[in-house]
Amino acid sequence: MIQRKNRVDSIIIGSGGTGGHMFPAAAIANQLRTEGYKIILITDKRGMRYGSDFKDDHIIELPIVNIRKGGILEKIKSMLQLLKSIYMSVKIIIKHKPKAVIGFGGYPSFPAAIASVITRVPLFLHEQNAILGRTNKFLKRFAYKIFTSFKNTQFATKSHKVIHTGNPVRKSVHHYKEIPYPEITGKFNILVTGGSQGAAIFSQMMPEICQKLPKDLGKKLFITHQARPEDIKTTKESYEKYAIQANVVSFIDDMGQAIAKSHLIICRSGATTLAEIGLIGRPALYVPLPSSADDQQTINAQIATNLGAGRLIRQENFTPSYVASIITAYYVQPTTLYQAAEKAKLLTNKDACHNVAQIVIDKIQNN
């Protein structure tokens, strides 16, 4: 337990509305809550979907949009909306008097961060990816400290501000971190996940990939597949067509358990996905999202594959024959799976939550 003064202070967390931002934000919120701090979450409409991770906290939804999208009129409307969100964030800070603001990237973290600068509340930033995101890149000049998930994060200039802490992982996933890699007997379990929203290409290709595997492997397969809600029916039917055992769902409630049970994971390469896989230690085939900002997911996946934690497959190469050949090669040489599982553990710092919370609390107590 981190020692702190015997008083109740609040901390604002600003986070973008995707799982990649919200999950590490929830992990830090839980750590700080344990230390006795009140948490105020500022996010957008998308972030409200993760309210269950902040059920005991004060959650504020701001009307935030991407100012880079649309024509001139849309950009003007978005800018006015942004100014309104900054004004609302300043009012929130004046009302609640937080001791710190922590931004986890994404546009919804921007108003809270700027409001902290205006009101002179210490600003901390956390970057999940191996390249500093656009919001954090702009805000870094104002931050007291910048926490990074990866060493040598691009655009995070080496200075006293930048601290490699690792990417915080949800408490629910931590429960499975000591479970050893499952022996390959009976079923061969593959987890397919495109992040919190699923991935259409996995739904389109995975049944055909399974169909191209050797018959003895095909009979042993059990697929846990997270798909988009609109793809559930057709994906199930495709697996059934090829007589592949599969559980197709729109959301995996216990991701830690799903990872722990897997012999191989096929996924996107968002930073939170890497952190959760790394915490438990499982091999993966990483298929970066081509449209990710600044090609962040490719850079993340390259770090994982350079460690020997799996393979990077670009989306244009995610074809049935090619992917089936990689899965088969892993299966016939199970030692490679065990080795990759061990290497994957190098992706995650198990003490990331404690590392971030310790620095924030030290700053609060020394002010």
| Token pair listed for 242 | 């090829």
Residue 52's pLDDT is 82
- The strand order across the sheet containing 100-103 reads 58-61, 38-43, 10-14, 100-103, 123-127, 145-148, 162-164
> For residue 230, which amino acid is it?
E
For residue 238, how many other CB atoms are within 10 A of its CB? 21
**What pLDDT band is residue 195 in, cutting at 50, 70 and 90?**
confident
Each residue's pLDDT tens digit, 178-191: 999 999 988 999 99
Q: Is the pLDDT of residue 70 over 80?
A: no
Mean pLDDT within 101-123: 95
Q: Is the pLDDT of residue 118 over 90?
A: yes
Burial (CB < 10 A; 0-12, 13-18, 19+), residue 193, is buried
Contact in structure between 59 and 41 (CB atoms under 8 Å): yes
Burial 29-43 (b: 16+ CB within 10 A, else e): bbbbbebebbbbbbb
Contact in structure between 241 and 208 (CB atoms under 8 Å): no
Residue 197's pLDDT is 60
**What pLDDT band is residue 156 in, cutting at 50, 70 and 90?**
confident
Question: Which of 62-66, 73-77, 248-252, 320-324 is predicted least confidently?
Answer: 62-66
Given the DSSP bridges, would you call strands 188-193 and 123-127 parallel, antiparallel or unpaired?
A: unpaired
Percentages (nearest 5) of helix, strand, coil residues in the chain: 50, 15, 35
DSSP SS3 for 278: helix
Mean pLDDT within 286-315: 92
Residues shown for the chain: 367
Each residue's pLDDT tens digit, 87-107: 999 999 999 999 999 999 988
The region, left, alpha or beta by phi > 0 then psi within -120 to 50, assigned to residue 155 is left
| Token pair listed for 268 | 């996107």
Mean pLDDT within 39-45: 93
The domain 10-169+349-366 having CATH identifier 3.40.50.2300: the answer here is no
Burial (CB < 10 A; 0-12, 13-18, 19+), residue 313, is buried
Say which CATH superfamily domain 174-347 falls into: Glycogen Phosphorylase B; (3.40.50.2000)
List alpha helices for 35-99, DSSP H. Answer: 72-96
Nearest-angstrom CA–CA distance, 148 and 127: 5
- Count CA atoms closer than 13 A to 137's CA, side-chain side: 11
Nearest-angstrom CA–CA distance, 265 and 13: 31
Residue 125's pLDDT is 97
Q: Is the pLDDT of residue 36 over 90?
A: yes
DSSP SS3 for 264: strand
| Domain range list for the chain | 10-169+349-366, 174-347
Residue 213: alpha-carbon gap to chain centroid: 30
**What pLDDT band is residue 65 in, cutting at 50, 70 and 90?**
low
Taking CA 144 as the corner, what is the angle to CA 140 and CA 148, rounded to the nearest 5 degrees? Answer: 60
> For residue 333, which amino acid is it?
Q
**Identical topology for domains 10-169+349-366 and 174-347:** yes
Nearest-angstrom CA–CA distance, 258 and 269: 17
Q: Is the pLDDT of residue 122 over 80?
A: yes
Mean pLDDT within 248-270: 95
**What pLDDT band is residue 108 in, cutting at 50, 70 and 90?**
confident
Contact in structure between 304 and 269 (CB atoms under 8 Å): yes
Q: Is the pLDDT of residue 268 over 70?
A: yes
CA torsion 253→258→259→261, rounded to 10°?
160
Residue 367's pLDDT is 77
- pTM metric for this prediction: 0.89
As a whole-number percent, the residues of the chain with pLDDT over 70 amount to: 95
For residue 201, how many other CB atoms are within 10 A of its CB? 14
Q: What is the mean pLDDT of the chain?
A: 91
Query: At what angle are helices 200-211 and 232-241 packed, to 10 degrees?
Result: 10
Mean pLDDT within 114-143: 94
**What pLDDT band is residue 67 in, cutting at 50, 70 and 90?**
low
Each residue's pLDDT tens digit, 305-362: 999 999 999 999 999 999 999 999 999 999 999 999 999 999 999 999 999 999 999 9
| Token pair listed for 39 | 């948490």
Residue 2's pLDDT is 52
List alpha helices for 212-333, DSSP H. Answer: 215-220, 232-241, 255-260, 271-280, 296-306, 320-332
